[in-house]
Chain A
Amino acid sequence: MPDVDLLVVGAGPAGAVAAAQAKRAAPELDVVLLERDRAVGAPVRCAEGVGDAGLREFANPDGAPWVARKISRVIFIAPDDSEVRVAERDVGWILDRTRFDAHLAAEAVAAGAELLVGTEASGMTRTPDGRWHVAVRGLRGASTYRAKVVIGADGVEAMVGRWAGLDTRVPARDMESCAQYVVQGIDFDPDAIYLQFGDAVAPGGYAWIFPKGVGIANVGLGLVALKSDGRNARQYLDAWMDRRYPNGARTGYTVGGVIVHTTVQQTYADGLLVAGDAAHMINPLSGGGIVNAMKAGRLAGCTVAAAIRAGDTSARRLAAYHHAWMELLGQDHVKYYRIKRALESVDDAFFNALARTVNAIPAERRTLGRIFAHALVQHPQLIPVAARFFI
């Protein structure tokens, strides 16, 4: 029975950063990082967009091989297809997640963690000696790991948290069902991301075009199934593609779920933390989660390293992670979630009218703040939400 200090389940951004951080903070620890898929970063279940400032806290994107495209503009598309260009600088990047996730995992290995690909956790139990026994199976056969601490960074399915008794269930209205093609040979501004809203396009969510290069993009959408007309996400996407890019070559395809909720009520238990998508740490307004996952991973790694060194891995001690996360981003997500819920009451006519008003502002003065201000003028019922948001 392999005996380790820290077992991290899932080698995405949360897990890889957590493993690396724990090892850097306490080099004497035995840290093992498990990845179920045979390659870290594949299959890609992500639109791969990330903000510039958040990314730079963890990796330098300038000239990096794991970057696909720099983004300097956002183009909103109203339900009636009118476009609104928003002037922003250094908006962000479109990553190549197959390379980016592998880069983060390699950093964890460089820090001294052991990475096992093609290996999954299939269950775990707490033993009287205060350790987790985690059943693991994969390329090297089946075995049981004994760990002082387990970090569940196992993504949307979040089974590690459930095994430990945490409530990681999601109400259907807070689950975005997503489908995406990689499309080649299409015409769009390769320095911009496009977001289209509309009940006929993506009810309860939005459709996106995220450039991976000139003429190549991730084209996808996320919707809330409760609001759909009976079609699934793939069928909505096919309809959108047929309308916008009937001649584009669909060279790749992926689906997945994005949890647009607030952080789970409790992200810790005795000898256990959950981080990233598994802890519902996605921005509920944008659906973005990569930087959040890395920030949570960093907090988790630091917390666990200090706890093991101190010989106290109790829930009471590990709760420090939860409080640090809530202060860092979790409280903001509660506010974003309120805005998301308020926006559910606005209709296509609102977005069409907003697009016309905003386009009357000179392009260089069109910032997200001004757009938000115009939205409030047109839709006063959003003002109580905005007040709570800014207070």
Chain B
Amino acid sequence: MVDLAVCDRCGLCLPLCPPAAIHLALSDLLVDRQTCTGCRKCVAPCPVGALAMVDA
């Protein structure tokens, strides 16, 4: 999930996501939960810690 209060919409996480499950749309960051494989590659690199895995 994305903490939108913390997320700066910088786009860093998009090229890290193997299945391209993260989208920046009209400056909102969206994670497609159908496509996300839970690989966590986006979590640590987020400069502000806005990304976290949650159990569905």
Please report A residues at the B interface, Cβ cutoff 8 Å. Answer: 36-37, 45, 120, 122, 137, 155-159, 162, 168-170, 172, 175, 177-179, 225-226, 228, 232-235, 254-257, 259
Contact = CB atoms under 8 A, between A and B. Distances in A.
B26 A234 contact: no
A155 B12 contact: no
Contact of A257 (B12, B18, B24, B27): B12
A169 B47 contact: no
Given A45-B10, A170-B15, A255-B8, 13 more contacts: A36-B27, A122-B25, A157-B11, A157-B14, A157-B24, A162-B20, A170-B16, A172-B44, A179-B47, A233-B47, A235-B49, A256-B11, A257-B47
Q: Size range of the interface on B?
A: 20 to 34
Nearest to A43: B8
Contacts of A235: 49
Residue from B8, B18, B45 whose CB has the most chain A CB atoms within 10 Å: B45
Contacts of B26: 120, 137
Contacts of A234: 47-49
Residue from B11, B25, B46 whose CB has the most chain A CB atoms within 10 Å: B11
Interface of B: 8, 10-18, 20, 23-27, 41, 44-49
A162 B23 CA distance: 12
Given A156-B15, A168-B15, A257-B10, A232 B24 contact: no
A225 B44 CA distance: 6
Contact of A255 (B14, B17, B24, B48): B48
A176 to B, nearest CB: 9
A226 B49 CA distance: 14
A259 B15 contact: yes
